[in-house]
Amino acid sequence: MPQHLVETDVIRSAIGLASRAPSLHNTQPWQWVTDGVELQLYLARGRIVRHTDAAGREALISCGAMLDHVRVAMAAAGRRTTVERFPNPDNPEHLATLTFSPLDYPADSVQLIADAIVLRRTDRLPFHAPVDFGRVESVLRRALATTRVRLDVLVDKERQDLVEASRVSEAARRFDTNYGADLDWWTAPFGLDSGIPRTALPSVPEADRVNINRHFPVGPSGDRRAAITHDESTVLVLSTPDDSRAAALECGEALSQVLLECTLAGLATCTITHLTEDPSARKVLAGLIRHAGVPQLLIRVGRVPTLEQGAPVTPRRTVDDILWVRF
């Protein structure tokens, strides 16, 4: 396929939009390099959460989400993306090389999905149950049909198993000082371009009503959505055939598609990963999905009050920080 030069401003705009991608504790563990023809994605190893994600699995998932966000952003700019994953076996931190070609007739839906990047937030508060989720589920399954990532929708009776697995997992980590240090570092109030602001964390009464979330340091006082007495979200599981680095990256790309489609459908989302960090909890999840896949993460999906202000916007690194232009 012939290579096409892409204006730096187009790439910068796409990277700026795609940088809204979700990542573990908002660490944004990605680095991009472009020469105007290729756009290369690298794992920023120094931004891996040291103790929580020592193997870097969740950092790879995060990079996969950013990778798919870039694909969406470039499609909205009229470019088709071709991706070569893990192109350099001698450099495991080189995750993907992207090249582009003209997209003559971008569908209207492409711009809608790109707009969803701006609207999406990680919302850790309780949700109302989604309405007519079967329709959304059909859209999600079509989106993932050509991937190796499997989507499972857990039924209500399986939720108690999740609650217990989450309780046991969090209890086991209560006195893990290294895990606690990770949380404290990435929720510290001095984070200007990364990490989770305290305003984005639930208070005690809010957290008590979502009993499968990670236990973060306590957020601001208050009781938002007090009328939702317990979380009514639908819980999704994304799993892969194996636990390889390629599987983690692909799972991140699938996560991006699920989150953006749910946002486009007017639904709130919250990605949950602490249950797949603990081997015993991950084993429980594997039993719930009832197939041979390896659970990688969960997603809570639901509705929020119509007139409510959206979840706080979390900070992001600048384009100049995450994109190196090389000619």
For the chain, the structural domain boundaries read: 8-120+315-325, 133-302
Asked, colleague to colleague, whether 8-120+315-325 and 133-302 share their fold, the answer is yes
CATH of 133-302, one of 3.40.50.720, 1.10.3720.10, 3.40.109.10, 3.40.630.30: 3.40.109.10
Question: pLDDT tens for residues 84-110?
Answer: 999 999 999 999 999 999 988 777 889
Q: What is the mean pLDDT of the chain?
A: 94
Question: pLDDT tens for residues 22-66?
Answer: 999 999 999 999 999 999 999 999 999 999 999 999 999 999 999
CB count within 10 Å of CB 243 equals 14
CATH H superfamily, domain 8-120+315-325: NADH Oxidase (3.40.109.10)
Local structure of 62: helix, strand or coil: helix
Question: pLDDT tens for residues 219-228?
Answer: 888 999 999 9
pLDDT of residue 5: 84
pLDDT of residue 2: 55
Arithmetic mean of pLDDT, 177-197: 93
DSSP string, 129-192: PPSSHHHHHHHHHHHTTTSS-EEEEE-GGGHHHHHHHHHHHHHHTTT-HHHHHHHHHHT-TT-S
CB count within 10 Å of CB 228 equals 21
| Distance of alpha carbon 291 from alpha carbon 301, whole angstroms | 22
pTM score above 0.95: yes
Whether 1 has a pLDDT exceeding 70, the answer reads: no
Cβ pair 57, 80 in contact under 8 A:
no
pLDDT of residue 311: 79
User: Residue 168 carries which side chain, given as an amino acid letter?
Assistant: V
pLDDT of residue 3: 67
Kind and range of the H or E element at 85? strand 79-85
